[in-house]
Chains A and B, each alone.
Chain A
């Protein structure tokens, strides 16, 4: 399915012939897993897009209050009601419910969904609970293969459940309540993580610097907000960020903080790289090699910055570390996103719909995480410590 051959004519024919059998077999779609996301469109990026559509600081406050109040009550009820058979279905709904909150990180939503599984579980031993959790986490991962934070969050929680030695000494009910309490705490940890990252990166922003930002990462926004609050004088160049339009949203936020902002076309990055002092990006996931997976365009910007000797700083929470090792751009699960061009495209014309790319570690200078400031080579060390 991944086309690597340069002979696109042969591939084209192959594609045309392979397309027809599945069309015929459409009626008998039993091959697909029942909880598989029906489109190839990545649910993760759709949710991000939905967030971008609304994520402004005034809306956030209202949304938090509204969504937080409602879903907090609803979900335990619904999960209590649907015990037994419908449990796996529950996890996905649960997860989607949490995920819709614009200020909540993906991994936190995943862990909260797993916490709901624990709460609704009828298991009487740790082993049973672990098996149920594993099943729920597999279902979640299967539902959206493209979201790295989701996978990482699930893995982290499962790992914590199976490895914590302190749990062995307590009786089952107290262990269960301890797990639930930890899962709740994780949401706070995530918020604290952003504050820690913002604090660590303050030293690197000096007065009079020009920062280039790509994509709308909540962590990077927090960093810039903190710098503005500390009365640092800096200006921001932000890329337009098609097709999500992140540039306009970011410039809205920054102009509220009285930070001088300049919007660039994605193609104008090399043109403006001369006057840039540093590049700040967030990350959808940090992979084992120390590279990052982020919104499409990050690799390009990192290449340009590297060739002009500008530092590229990545701000990512530690739970985004994933056990992936992409060898090239196409080596990940494809995450597609529909792109509107505004005009009608002829049917024969293909569109590159991938929503993300992989930036290798040699183009990154430092990663700011809640574990501290790390250079890209430290990432694999951290992952080994966790997963060994």
Chain B
């Protein structure tokens, strides 16, 4: 079961390097740090750990405006209209509501007794 394009996939790369036709990544899960290699062509997704973003300079932004934009229809892509949009959706959002606001509690100024007051609060809630 490769991706639809037939390419390999390696996801959540925190570190990435390419050697010839092989892409190697480091991938951190909750329980382990994994090294994974895939051969090209591959779809690779990265996390914000892979590196600093390079922001385009003004000249490049202006240059981008002149790049040709190609418009494709569903037919061009060979996609059946019933598979996409509302008719193709496999889930729908039925409600969106604001998260109930939290209200601020007791705030004390540390006059030297801040830690003791905090310890009282924590003990009162069973944390100590």
Are chains A and B native binding partners rather than an unrelated pairing? no
Binding site for B on A (CB under 8 A): none
Binding site for A on B (CB under 8 A): none
